[in-house]
């Protein structure tokens, strides 16, 4: 099949959808499909290559930059619109990722006018928590542009049953399908070991356990809850360090640093910025657990990643895949400092139980998120919309 994906931005700060698209397109292309990603915003390294005239690739999938500025909530530039019209005509099916960008709707219109099937991945953007933010604007969007965009889609993709339950209250389309994000498990099959991270990050210098918060540093992730839990554990005499790995707005990160100082945790909290690749896998392995008291996450790659590295996970029912994580040994706690403190303390005080939980999680993820199984589910959806 010839499959064109559209995502307005491929920059990492756009969050989980970028990872979802790049992992899926690479896997589809590796299975022999003709796959491309069209986008209006490239990360800096790819932008430099594009300016030098290099062909941009994601594995065997092409990356096709569109002309004009980043679309965002604005319409596509005329040149980008014309490019997309030509591109869509060359592909069998179009896969649109996200909801709130006007450009996503435009791509759906182009596909429809050319008689091409398109599917929409919601990417958590219709979850209840998300819908409370700018609620009026989102309601108007769904009642006008969104209504026909979803209704005419060949399928609407959700990553979890919990996401489907929330999202389907807000659009009309009987062809809603649930498929988890495809996760590239290769880096976890032969992980690098904890030593890389232990040498790089000062949190490990005193040979005390480290609790990991690895995510975009954003208000919805619950960093304040983890800091309050850390303060409770410190009062109990449990000496731990806390690594906050991820990028965030400077002002918000500064506020978290100040809060840590006020709680007496200044020398035990470490904000290390974005961590990726082999170093990220090593950081999972070196940590006592991944603790993320998030308010909302439709999938959250970090959870199965941590489990694949053999690291126990503590999170909340704000994660739409929480029932799956719990089946694999993930700890699902109330989003309170007390609950997170208790869960962390239990892991810190019982090494054999913690190791057993880590091994259980690793085996579960390797089985539950086997790449071939997931990519075959996407292939089945593409084939179904082509004949519908």
pTM over 0.95: no
pLDDT of residue 14: 61
As averages over each run of 10 residues, the pLDDT of the chain (388 residues) reads 96 82 96 97 93 94 92 87 97 96 95 97 94 94 93 96 95 92 96 98 96 95 98 97 96 97 96 95 98 95 98 97 98 98 98 97 97 97 92
pLDDT of residue 52: 94
Q: How far apart are CA 191 and CA 133, in angstroms?
A: 39
Domains annotated for the chain, with CATH where assigned, are 2-182+371-387 (3.40.50.2000), 186-368 (3.40.50.2000)
pLDDT of residue 73: 77
Long-range own/partner contacts, residues 382-388 (CB < 8 A, 24 or more apart): 382/1, 382/3, 382/92, 382/93, 382/95, 382/119, 383/1, 384/154, 384/155, 385/93, 385/117, 385/118, 385/119, 385/154, 385/155, 385/175, 386/1, 386/92, 386/93, 386/117, 388/117, 388/154, 388/175
């Amino acid at each position: 099949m010839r499959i064109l994906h559209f995502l307005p931005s491929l920059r990492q700060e756009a969050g989980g959808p970028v990872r979802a698209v790049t992992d899926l397109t690479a896997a589809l292309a590796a299975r022999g499909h003709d796959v491309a990603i069209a986008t209006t915003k490239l990360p800096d390294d790819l932008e430099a290559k594009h300016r030098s005239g290099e062909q941009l690739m994601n594995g065997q999938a092409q990356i096709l930059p569109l002309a004009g500025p980043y679309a965002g909530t604005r319409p596509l530039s005329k040149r980008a619109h014309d490019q997309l019209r030509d591109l869509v005509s060359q592909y069998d099916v179009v896969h649109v990722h996200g909801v709130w960008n006007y450009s996503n709707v435009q791509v759906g219109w182009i596909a429809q006018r050319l008689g091409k099937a398109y599917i929409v991945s919601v990417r958590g953007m219709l979850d209840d928590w998300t819908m409370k933010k700018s609620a009026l604007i989102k309601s108007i969007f769904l009642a006008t542009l969104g209504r026909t965009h979803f209704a005419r889609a060949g399928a609407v993709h959700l990553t979890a049953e919990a996401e489907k339950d929330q999202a389907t209250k807000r659009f009309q389309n009987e062809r809603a399908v649930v498929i988890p994000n495809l996760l590239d498990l290769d880096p976890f099959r032969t992980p690098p070991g904890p030593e890389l991270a232990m040498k790089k990050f000062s949190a490990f210098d005193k040979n005390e356990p480290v609790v990991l918060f690895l995510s975009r540093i954003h208000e919805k992730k619950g960093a304040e809850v983890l800091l309050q839990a850390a303060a409770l554990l410190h009062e109990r005499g449990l000496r731990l360090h806390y690594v906050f790995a991820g990028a965030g707005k400077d002002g918000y990160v500064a506020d978290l640093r100040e809060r840590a100082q006020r709680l007496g945790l200044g020398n035990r909290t470490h904000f290390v910025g974005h961590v990726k690749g082999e170093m990220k896998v090593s950081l999972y392995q070196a940590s006592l657990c991944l603790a993320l008291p998030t308010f909302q996450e439709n999938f959250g790659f970090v959870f199965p990643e941590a489990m694949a590295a053999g690291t126990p996970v503590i999170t909340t029912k704000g994660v739409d895949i929480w029932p799956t994580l719990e089946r694999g040994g993930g700890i699902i706690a109330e989003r309170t400092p007390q609950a997170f403190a208790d869960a962390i303390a239990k892991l810190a005080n019982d090494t054999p139980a913690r190791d057993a939980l880590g091994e259980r999680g690793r085996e579960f993820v390797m089985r539950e998120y086997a790449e071939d199984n997931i990519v075959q589910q996407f292939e089945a959806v593409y084939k179904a919309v082509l004949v519908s």
